[in-house]
Structure 1
Amino acid sequence: MSNAQAQFKRRLAKALASPTLELALNRAMPMRRKSRAAAFAQDDFAALRDDLQRRKRAAIEHLPELLAQFTENAAKAGATVYLAQSIEDAQRIVGDLVKRQNVKLAVKSKSLATEEISLNEYLEERHVKVVETDLGEWIVQLAGEKPSHLITPAMHKTREEVAELFSKVTGKKIPPDIPKMVAVARKMLRQSFIEADMGITGANVAIAETGSLVIVSNEGNGRLVSTLPPVHVAILGIEKIVATMEDALAALKVLSKSGTGQRLTTYISYITGPSRTADIELSLTTGVHGPKEVHIVLLDNGRTTMRNRPEYRDALDCIRCGACLNACPPFQAVGGHAFGYKYPGPIGLILTAFHHGYENAQGPQTLCLGCNACQTACPANIELPRMILDLRQEMFDGESIGMLKGNALNFLTYQREGKWLGLAKVAQRAFSKGEGLVSIPGVTGWRYLPKLPDKTFLERRGLGAKSKATSLVRSQAAGQSVLYFPGCITDNLFPAMGDSAVEALNGLGAEVSIPRKAQCCGLAHMNSGDRATAKRLAKETIAMLEQETAQHIVCTSASCVVAMTQDYPHLLRDEPEWAERAKRLAGRIKDFTSFVDGVAKVSPGALAKGESGTVTYHDSCQSTNCLKLGKEQRRIIQGVVGAELKEMEESSQCCGFGGTFSIDYPDISKRILKHKLDHIGETGAETVVTDNPGCIMQLRGGLEAAGKKTRVLHIAELMAEQMKNHRKR
């Protein structure tokens, strides 16, 4: 195990063992998501993100020219500009300035770039006292820790912990009253602003046409740091440069809403060179009430390399709002010290690889469970899920899967020994926990697992079998042909679910056929980083499905649908012929919900007669974040089936399954699941409905282990159940 990997393991163990971390994150993160949603409620978010994405991509495309233009215009305005190719270059530049200016005290506003280059440690080694002035940064500095969030550095600390820390620093008892603690910080930091020899900031944006820096803050410390000391040093990545003021405004329109849920941040400062006056005989003089010198350090440190890698280039569009962190379920479970390195969260996984080496990204990237919530929240629409998978595949060595995970993958992909499978079916009887579930002591206490069925779905139905339409309800699918692709989990673990899907499709008037071969789509291997096996399985799936003549290919696994329709073209990008075949095939593949709502178009109330009970709906990750579904399922549940829908809080938050993620990190999966089960329980609904077999496995097992009687059904099972009731009537 490498030193970086060992450090990651220690950070993760510490996070999971912390008695307060989970409390702090659970207090902060749901509130941050709600405030963000409220801030964008009156906006066309899609239009705003498209505009920002277009402008940022243009800036990165023309970065060399914009870098030269910014440098020239900033110099004309009186600033001195430096280009640092590496961390060492940046440290040396600031170190030389500190030495030349005889700096003893430096005050800082929040700057991710200074964390990237470990500037505080570098300056302290040179006997410079560094005082962080952002409240969160100051808290973690006093605690001897590092920031755990891009926007909220001390998010990992409870108010009680902060009060205890302040009491220790001041020698007085400070209560856990937030306004009083803020007053303590204000009083203690005020003199540092006045006495500082140098102010160090980052910048949110740099404008090439004017040579200006844009600094956004809420506390006002950014203005004090950049105004009161005689020397201002700004350190920022070269990707912060945009062409025009309009480009900067596009970022500002979404930055505060995405980051803190504000319509607009409290302070937005435009800094163009040092302070100046010409009030006396129009003679220009610098250094009035603001700094006499402004030094701007533009940091590369892997950014040009990232720009030259098409797979990762768009990560340079990041505006450091932290929305991807706030949306990330594993981040809420363990925080940014474990889920990251110097840059935390989903975007941090990519930045770490290029700024601090793949070895420091290797451990944290395994914490991504592939929910895709980060891209949904990103105001620049960065394809972080795809980038993280690409990074994982680059790091894959074939040895990190482990026996338990490897056996699970082999089982799902039909690479299993019959004799061992038979023994497992016999052995599971000793661990039976209710209908269709098993509990293994020490392994499944928090989530029971499904029993291995006597026969898989394909064995029960027969390869290549067909079933005729029963036409129980009128629909536009009548007379159409459907190939039902069950997916591995349905086939191997939930054959009754597959039966319900076929019955529902037949009931809609479609003739349904079954694949002539048991085939895994390769999703699990893709998510595990095993690109070679994933490509092989993808090609096998494409070749098999191309031979099927049905008009539609319908799958009850939203995850499998996303893999086949969205992931295959990228996975096979190095083989254009296969990528093109994948794109053609994608036009025939539909998830069950889209088929019912978009093809069958069943009339409202078609199955609404009789009692259907109360239902709450869990939006699976791939369904909501990739397929962009949500209203469709509710039209089926409320309109077609006629059930009473009780919406749960944060219905689209992940349940914690994540495929083999729950094998790799059961403690994290358990924490994520608990939130979901709590929200389900709050609705009082009799049944939870979703559209993904993995979620059903997680929710059904979790509810049963918790002693809850709530049913968990696939939306196809709900429809099939109502069709049976409809037939009886």
Structure 2
Amino acid sequence: MPARSKEFQRRLDAAVRDPDLATALRRSLSTFRDRRAGAFAPLDFPAMQADLHRRKEDAIARLPELIEQFTREAEAVGAVVHLAKTPEDACRIIADIATERGVKLAVKSKSMATEEIRLNPALEARGIRVVETDLGEWIVQLAGDHPSHLIAPAIHITREQVAELFSKETGQEVSPEVQALVGVARQRLRQAFIDADMGITGANAAIAETGTIAIVTNEGNDRLVATLPPVHVAVLGVEKIVPTIDDVAAMLKLLPRSGTAQKITSYVSFITGPSRTADIELVTAMGVHGPKEVHIVLLDNGRLAAREDPELVDTLYCIRCGACSNVCPPYQVVGGHLFGHIYTGPIGLPLTAIHHGLDAAADPQSLCVSCNACELVCPAGIPIPRLILEVRSRVTESMGLPAPKEQVMARWQDPKRGDRWARVAAHGAAMLARDGYIERIPFQGELTQDRHLIAPARKPLRDRVRHLAGNRARQQPAPEPRFADSQAAGLTVAYFPGCMVDRLMPEMGEATIRVLEACGCRVIFPPDQHCCGLVALNMGDRPRGRVMAEQTVRVLEEVEADWIVSNSTSCYAAMAQDYQHLFRDDPEWRERAARQAERLIDLTTFLDRVARLGPQQWTKPGPRVTYHDACQSHNALGIREAPRRIITEVLGLELVEMPESSVCCGFGGSFSVDYPQVSSAILARKLDNALSTEAPVVVADNPGCLMQIRGGLHARRSPVRALHLAELIVERLGM
């Protein structure tokens, strides 16, 4: 990732030190996961998600045709449709409509599209007063601020701060109780609806077959905005157009549940042209109660170009529910003003690149920890993490890596140079280490303030298992299984530990080998293995990531084994899933990677589905444990029940579930070094949840998470241990 700007760093420092921001985000988002799960509980979310994805995919594929159809049908019922290529075009169109009609006051309902084009300043420059009528938008307007969430604009502001704003606005003391605040807004905004000369709304969808726009709200202000003024202007991106009302119905089953955990919002409005009546001699007359004019501004601003971009087109499927922000760990620490530009949260990062350019996306995209939680809850099934990495790769290609990272990756991409460099680094780090941890780094206090760093091993795993390399290891007889019921006995298994286990936690690798041998497997260690390339890919350094991916595939191709097992789910996901996208334009390499993926497997799944271990007889009780679901395991690979079954049924241990077990620990590879303050805040929540169980052991199946959690526990001087599942099994077996 490129070096972040000084201004972004200044704003970041302010955000992580802002107690009011932390309070506001905690109050708003702490229970969202449970509420959302409850809203979807009786439904088949994956099926609904796939259906909406298919509908949006079809609509975007037909977009030019749908724009023409919508324009034709909307104008047939009396609306005027304008196509705006740029934000400047859109602002000029709307300002001209207002100026020509002598508009003095315009009221608005919530609209991210108008935020995108910065409509309010454009109208104010023409002498037109603009009043936001959505409660959150009005709060933000009074604060001289801008929205920090797609559907909750003022989520970053506490109710106490709102009370101060309202007290200043009214000249009277206003209580911070929510009902009192709502009462003030209702009273102050009511007259604006009546006096307004123009109403401006957004739209959640547009229906091509009827020329209808659909608006979804809870407050009802959109109906007043769209009904009372004589002129109604709706502003929406062209990607909101869908073929039929059935497509809108499919969206409505998902949008409220995803955004606010409601079955349906309070108001769903369908507007088809201006208000009309035919009650006098069946002659149609416009504007009997509602507006006499309806103008619909269809905004391009990069959307049509994104439609032709195979790597970013999925961004256009977004229905603006904000669910991705609600589950995003870094967002919950810094808020949307840092994690985004105009559009905020995870989906806001590719949206920013599309609508405002790579420069605007460069700093915010670096806050993504790649936890994949956003993709899991996206109602349109958008691969948001992949889109963010695409933006990151383009930013890196354009701006380059910071010098320190560039120097590291230049060495690391070459296995021999990387090995020499890692050994030198391990010897150097030993001078800073104490009992295996680095507790302080000169002039880098933030790196070790809340998490001590595991010191690199002087003797990496590859040096410890030389006897498992080469043909000699393959010729050895398979060991007698300690698990008598193992269905993997006699199999030859190649072990791919990943560079983190190899260089930092070799004992974890040795434990994994013992577990595989306890299953009766003949274990071999491919000596030429290096790095899967994930570290480079996560930095946006796609060329070097590809170099290392090709190296890895070549090594795996030389392996004569029934299975290739990794105890790093991050490495496994990279090799089994990410390589297919990395090699998307190279059929030969994609096929070579796919062939190896067929025999790649993570350790937990191997024990569960290949060895098929069953309940064992234990003479001694073991420790109570709690389990942390690593992001790649839970979100990307769907590994959820298997580790729990192994812990409780196979090992006979008591499992105490921690709150938010599948929420990120804050590691994210180099993220924890780039943003130690944000990483520490995420880690603190994870540690608090783990320690609340009073279990003496935290278990996970991902080395990166364990490095983070171990470091955090060590910094707290906690006696609680963090173990890989393999290490737990070895302890239980007394090996």
TM-score, shorter chain, exceeding 0.5: yes
- 1:409 and 1:622, CA in 2 relative to 1: closer, same or farther beyond 3 A? farther
C-alpha deviations, 1:626-680, integer Å up to 9, x for none?
1011011111111111111111111111000000011111111011111101111
- 1:243 and 1:609, CA in 2 relative to 1: closer, same or farther beyond 3 A? farther
What SS does structure 2 have at the residue aligned with 1:337?
Answer: coil
Q: What is the deviation of 1:409?
A: 8.6
What SS does structure 1 have at the residue aligned with 2:31?
Answer: helix
- 1:386 and 1:67, CA in 2 relative to 1: closer, same or farther beyond 3 A? same
Aligned to 1:428: 430
Letter in 2 for 1:440: I
Q: What is the deviation of 1:472?
A: 0.4
Letter in 1 for 2:402: I
Structure 1 regions of 5+ residues with no counterpart?
Answer: none
Question: Contact conserved, 2:432 with 2:440, CA < 8 A, in 1?
Answer: no
Question: Contact conserved, 1:105 with 1:128, CA < 8 A, in 2?
Answer: yes
C-alpha deviations, 1:555-608, integer Å up to 9, x for none?
0000001100111111122221001111111111001111111111111x2265
Aligned to 2:319: 319
Letter in 2 for 1:403: P
C-alpha deviations, 1:600-622, integer Å up to 9, x for none?
1111x226542121111111011
Q: Tell whether 2:693 aligns with 1:721.
A: no
Which of the numbers 509, 533, 545 marks the counterpart of 2:556? Answer: 545
Q: Distance in 2 between matches of 1:409 and 1:470?
A: 44
What SS does structure 1 have at the residue aligned with 2:30?
Answer: helix
Aligned to 1:488: 499
Question: Contact conserved, 2:413 with 2:547, CA < 8 A, in 1?
Answer: no
Q: What is the deviation of 1:407?
A: 4.0
| C-alpha RMSD over aligned residues | 2.0
- 1:423 and 1:568, CA in 2 relative to 1: closer, same or farther beyond 3 A? closer
C-alpha deviations, 1:353-372, integer Å up to 9, x for none?
11111110111111111111
Question: Contact conserved, 1:81 with 1:295, CA < 8 A, in 2?
Answer: yes
Q: Distance in 2 between matches of 1:268 and 1:609?
A: 63
Q: What is the deviation of 1:159?
A: 1.3
Question: What TM-score does the superposition give when structure 2 sets the normalisation length?
Answer: 0.95
Q: Distance in 2 between matches of 1:355 and 1:423?
A: 43
Q: Distance in 2 between matches of 1:385 and 1:319?
A: 17
Within-5 A mapping of 1:72-471:
72-397=72-397, 399-403=400-404, 406-407=407-408, 410=411, 415-416=417-418, 418=420, 421-422=423-424, 424-425=426-427, 428-432=430-434, 434=435, 438-440=439-441, 442=445, 443-462=447-466, 464=469, 466=473, 468-471=478-481
Q: Distance in 1 between matches of 2:617 and 2:492?
A: 22
Letter in 2 for 1:504: V
Q: Distance in 2 between matches of 1:706 and 1:404?
A: 29
Q: What is the deviation of 1:48?
A: 0.4
Give me the identity figure in percent: 52
Q: Tell whether 2:546 aligns with 1:535.
A: yes
Aligned to 1:53: 53
Question: Contact conserved, 1:469 with 1:512, CA < 8 A, in 2?
Answer: no
What SS does structure 2 have at the residue aligned with 1:670?
Answer: helix
What SS does structure 2 have at the residue aligned with 1:341?
Answer: coil
Question: Contact conserved, 2:531 with 2:552, CA < 8 A, in 1?
Answer: yes
Q: Distance in 2 between matches of 1:656 and 1:209?
A: 47
Aligned to 1:675: 685
Aligned to 2:509: 498
Aligned to 2:530: 519
Letter in 2 for 1:599: V
Q: What is the deviation of 1:175?
A: 2.0
Question: Contact conserved, 2:529 with 2:552, CA < 8 A, in 1?
Answer: no
What SS does structure 1 have at the residue aligned with 2:321?
Answer: coil
C-alpha deviations, 1:141-191, integer Å up to 9, x for none?
000000000010001111111111111211111122111111111111111
Q: What is the deviation of 1:470?
A: 3.3
Aligned to 1:658: 668
Question: Contact conserved, 1:328 with 1:346, CA < 8 A, in 2?
Answer: yes
Question: Contact conserved, 1:437 with 1:701, CA < 8 A, in 2?
Answer: no
Q: What is the deviation of 1:4?
A: 10
Question: Contact conserved, 1:74 with 1:81, CA < 8 A, in 2?
Answer: yes
Letter in 1 for 2:455: K
Q: Distance in 2 between matches of 1:32 and 1:293?
A: 40
Q: What is the deviation of 1:461?
A: 0.7
Q: Tell whether 2:620 aligns with 1:619.
A: no
Question: Contact conserved, 2:433 with 2:455, CA < 8 A, in 1?
Answer: no
Aligned to 1:577: 588
Question: Contact conserved, 2:496 with 2:529, CA < 8 A, in 1?
Answer: no
Q: What is the deviation of 1:400?
A: 2.8
C-alpha deviations, 1:294-313, integer Å up to 9, x for none?
10000011000000001111
Question: What TM-score does the superposition give when structure 1 sets the normalisation length?
Answer: 0.96
What SS does structure 2 have at the residue aligned with 1:644?
Answer: coil
Q: Distance in 2 between matches of 1:399 and 1:52?
A: 37
Aligned length: 723
Which of the numbers 714, 721, 727 marks the counterpart of 1:704? Answer: 714
Aligned to 1:600: 611
What SS does structure 2 have at the residue aligned with 1:270?
Answer: strand
- 1:18 and 1:413, CA in 2 relative to 1: closer, same or farther beyond 3 A? farther
C-alpha deviations, 1:683-721, integer Å up to 9, x for none?
111111111100000000001101211110111111121
What SS does structure 1 have at the residue aligned with 2:450?
Answer: coil
What SS does structure 2 have at the residue aligned with 1:130?
Answer: strand
Question: Contact conserved, 2:432 with 2:441, CA < 8 A, in 1?
Answer: no
Aligned to 2:39: 39
Q: What is the deviation of 1:518?
A: 3.6
Q: What is the deviation of 1:6?
A: 5.0
Q: Distance in 2 between matches of 1:65 and 1:402?
A: 48
Q: Distance in 2 between matches of 1:643 and 1:523?
A: 34
Q: Distance in 2 between matches of 1:456 and 1:420?
A: 9
- 1:546 and 1:427, CA in 2 relative to 1: closer, same or farther beyond 3 A? closer
Letter in 1 for 2:654: E
Question: Contact conserved, 1:523 with 1:563, CA < 8 A, in 2?
Answer: yes
Q: Distance in 1 between matches of 2:725 and 2:70?
A: 55
